[in-house]
Amino acid sequence: MTIPSPSYDGFTLFATLGIIAAMALAYLVVVPQRIDPKEPPMLRPRIPFVGHLVGLISLAHSYHRLQYNKYQMPICTLPILGGKLYVINSPEFAQSAILNRSLSFEPYVTDFIRRMTDVGDKAMKIYEDPAFFSRWLKIVYSSLTGPHLLAVNSAALRVVVNELNELPVAGVDVPDLFLWARDLISLASTTALFGDKNPWKLDPRLLDAYWDYERDIVAMMINIAPSITAPKAFRGRALMQKALTEYLASEYDAGSDVPKFTRDRMELEREFGMTPSEMAGLEVAVIHGAISNTIPTAYWMLVYVFSNPDLVAKLRAEAETVVTETSRAGPGEEGRREVSIDISRLEQNCPLLFSTLRETQRFISNAVLNRKIMADTTISDGKNSYLLKQGFDLQISHGVTHNLESVWGSNVRGFDSERFLDVAKPEDGLAVQPGAYTPFGAGKHICPGRFFASGEIMGFMVPLLLGFELTDQKGGAITVPDATIPWITTPIAKPVAGSNLGARLHRRVGWENVVWNISQ
Ligand code: HEM
């Protein structure tokens, strides 16, 4: 995979650079640059003080890959302004860091909520109260597994198949496949989380509202007059918060169609005195977690699969094993068939589909895991040990570890859908060499939504594979488009806008009159 060129919105980038330059100047005056010999070796920038900062701003996480390819340092300290950033590029150091309880992801989540949402100080205090937070996190981690997981995945995929059932038999031209997948899966995910009264279902403007918000995430994070520096994102957030406030004020979250993941959190938030508007503010952050990565992952999987006719044929054979014909045509419905998908059998029956998803994630997750050093800590790769100092930031670059030839072999730069077939069944996202493969993070902070996202993406592929032909607009195989460089806050790239994103979706011969169902 080549490192793509940047495609930032000019105004946002200009504003970001201006603000960072001002902060840099202030910081330079007060904080001198220094490093302890026990800390990871220093990687000096070409341009003193700001070189790494400029690199990170212009290339985001690809910068770590560029530096690694040049200097091959398994761990290093980047001096930035008067401070420093530790960077890990090796699975061994990554694993040592992941297992260390003094390194935490929590401060970033809290900071994200404070800057990116409009929850207000009172609700923020509740969120940071350990009595609230420990229970909130427990719900998040326990309610997207087992039967609860099956319920959310079924609800999401019901939305997907209902949309597919509506497509005309002759097929449709899709002007932009990314937008098509984006809107369909955004609707599916939000309906799975909020039930039938999902605000995104009732007001389709919220789809653009979320993606406007996501697009200007850096300006929102900087949080200086966001209504001026990121007006679309600011309006988008307000629209989402208003719609969610109405939903919560009506207590639609108590409905039996709403999953435990949402119901129990809302109940807890009310118990601690949050108002519907405060709960809605917090929920915007949860929605961001739930869809910002799922959608680009699903999109890239779609194009990697449908750009390869041999892979499509193999995946179709697997997908056949998770569907059952449930009813035949009645009088006047010649040719109509009802076909149900059993998503509980997906992982077991479709190893190649699962392997393709995992390879898609290896290929496209070009980012970092962030950890704050909560106390002076030593980490080791078994040969060397280094001190990480309290208060500084650490980035574990899976953009590097996902691309190491020493881990993945000589075909590391190619997309190999069978790469994960022979790997022992992964537990909690950890397979192959520990620390080498972390698209969902790892350790204490591993993504609680990983099974939901994987099930949703694999389930989304099944009716598309079996029931449809997805081609470019001339009827040939889909071409994989170039990828943008994602912002430093976003791990997964999007396709370059305006590149060849058009597609044609039409029903397969023999599957013209199928009505799709989800069996659970
Ligand atoms: C393909 C889709 C997804 C990807 C690639 C992804 C990736 C990640 C990553 C890398 C982390 C940080 C983990 C770490 O630093 O060790 C994370 C955390 C998190 N994710 Fe996901 N995620 C996805 C989908 C979801 C979904 C669907 C939800 C919820 C429904 C979700 C909710 C969360 C939450 C709440 C956290 C914070 C966990 C904590 O604070 O300990 N994610 N995710």
pLDDT digits (tens, 9 = 90+) for 46-76: 888 889 999 998 888 889 999 999 999 999 9
Strand 377-380 to strand 83-88: parallel, antiparallel, or no bridges (unpaired)? unpaired
Phi, psi of 479 (to 5 degrees): -100, 135
With a pLDDT cut of 70, the percent of the chain lying above it is 91
441 lines ligand 1 (CB under 6 A): yes
**At residue 276, does pLDDT exceed 70?**
yes
Maximum alpha-carbon separation in the chain: 83
Q: Tokens 């302890």 label which residue? A: 36
- CA-nearest residue, atom 7 of ligand 1: 440
518 sits in which H/E element? strand 514-518
**Which parts are annotated binding residues?**
447
Instruction: Indicate if the pLDDT at residue 9 is higher than 60.
Output: no
Calculate how far, in angstroms, residue 445's C-alpha sits from the geometric centre of ligand 1: 8
**Quick check: CB of 435 below 6 Å from ligand 1?**
no
Distance CA 128, CA 520 (A): 37
Q: Which helix (H) or strand (E) holds 294?
A: helix 294-306
Q: Which of 288, 447, 450, 490 to mutate to test the pocket of ligand 1 (most atoms within 8 A of CB)?
A: 447
Distance, CA of 520 to CA of 98 (rounded, Å): 36
Residues in the chain, total: 520
- At residue 14, does pLDDT exceed 50? no
Question: Could you tell me the distance, in angstroms and rounded to a whole number, from the CA of residue 229 to the centre of ligand 1?
Answer: 27
What lies within 8 Å, CB to CB, of 318 at 6+ separation is: 349, 350, 351, 352, 353
pLDDT on residue 332: 67
Q: How high does pLDDT run on average in the chain?
A: 90
Mean pLDDT of the region 108-132: 94
The amino acid at residue 428 is D
Q: Cα–Cα distance between 514 and 335 in angstroms, integer? A: 8
CA distances from 200 to 194, 246, 330 (A): 9, 12, 35
β-pair type (75-80, 514-518):
unpaired
* Crossing angle of the two packed helices 205-215 and 177-194, in degrees rounded to 10: 110
Phi, psi for residue 396 in degrees, rounded to 5 = -100, 115
pLDDT over 50 (residue 361): yes
Cα 399 to ligand 1 centroid, rounded to whole Å: 17
Q: Cβ(408) to ligand 1 under 6 A?
A: no
Closest to 178 (Cα-Cα) out of 301, 284, 315, 9 = 301
pLDDT at 326: 85
pLDDT-derived band at 23 (thresholds 50, 70, 90) equals low
Q: What is the pLDDT of residue 47?
A: 87
> Nearest Cα to 436, choosing from 475, 390, 405?
405
- Looking at residue 33, what is its pLDDT? 55
Q: Ligand 1: which residue has its CA nearest to atom 20?
A: 447
- Among the listed residues 307, 432, 460, the one whose alpha carbon sits nearest the alpha carbon of residue 362: 432
Q: Give the model's pLDDT for residue 274.
A: 98
CA separation, residue 65 to residues 91, 325, 401, 512 (Å): 14, 48, 9, 47
Residue 447 beta carbon below 6 angstroms from any ligand 1 atom: yes
Please answer whether residues 462 and 518 qualify as being in contact, where contact means their C-beta atoms are separated by less than 8 angstroms: no
Please tell me if the CB atom of residue 439 comes closer than 6 angstroms to any atom of ligand 1: yes
CA 297 to chain centre: 7
Tell how strand 514-518 and strand 172-174 pair up: unpaired
Number of the ligand 1 atom closest to the C-alpha atom of 286? 35
Compare 367 and 395 and report the one with higher pLDDT.
395
For residue 244, give both structure tokens: 């969610």
CA–centroid distance, 206 to ligand 1, in Å, is 22
pLDDT of amino acid 431: 57
Q: Which two tokens stand for residue 487?
A: 């912002």
Q: How far is the CA of 450 from the centre of ligand 1 (A)?
A: 7
| 303-308-312 Cα angle (round to 5) | 90
Annotated binding-site residues for heme read 447
Evaluate if residue 32 carries a pLDDT over 80. Answer: no
* Strands of 172-174's sheet in order across: 172-174, 503-507, 468-471
